[in-house]
Amino acid sequence: MSGYLVPARFGEAEFVEKRSRFIGRVWPVENEEEAVAHIKEMREKHWDATHNVYAYIIREGGAMRYSDDGEPGGTSGMPTLNVFRAGEIFNVCCVVTRYFGGILLGTGGLVRAYSQAAKLALEAAGVSRMDIWESTVTACPYSLYERVRRELEAAGAVIENVDYGADITIEAFLPSGTSGEVNIRLADISAGSVELLVLGQEYRAVEISREEAVE
């Protein structure tokens, strides 16, 4: 599947490591101006913090920036950035705020702590895939629901809504170009009684599971 990954929404996570408090925050952003605005906001909100480390990646133009904000070089900004580089996440801004607790973590400890803060914040935000999706709807009897759902998910569908009425109606986004094959499979398992209707195509971000994000 083509497209690219972005944060689904704002995410925040916090933990304490050897008395130091780490607060990770992730935002979806469209440009550097938005990223810089979030960084400025966190610096003002946490003016009393020991460090406000940041990293961001903007797909258009290939902008990629980070700052250690006073931490030893290579121990904070780059590890934070690498969380998103490794996950191939774009249009993302992350700020990790640290309140020093009086115990030194060492180089390795800092790398792990900042990486962990970024990972937890990203998990809280969730991940969406920006791509061309087919908006679809399928109605099926209760007896076939589990098989129909498995066929949709096997094709990479993201289930948006399930309505339990006289039949079960499933609204889902399918990767572009896959609906034809899915319809063949649904016809096979239902003796032709279940059909997938394509309502249209949209270029948009659709939230996906963590498993799909790492495929």
| 39-80 per-position pLDDT tens digit | 999 999 999 999 999 999 999 999 999 999 999 999 999 999
| 94-147 per-position pLDDT tens digit | 999 999 999 999 999 999 999 999 999 999 999 999 999 999 999 999 999 999
Nearest Cα neighbor of 138 from 207, 206, 191, 199 is 199
Phi/psi at 42 (nearest 5 deg)?
Answer: -70, -35
Q: Report the predicted TM-score, pTM, of the whole model to 2 decimal places.
A: 0.85
Q: Which pair of tokens denotes residue 11?
A: 């995410």
For residue 79, count CB atoms less than 10 angstroms from its CB and return exposed for 0-12, middle for 13-18, buried for 19 or more. Answer: buried
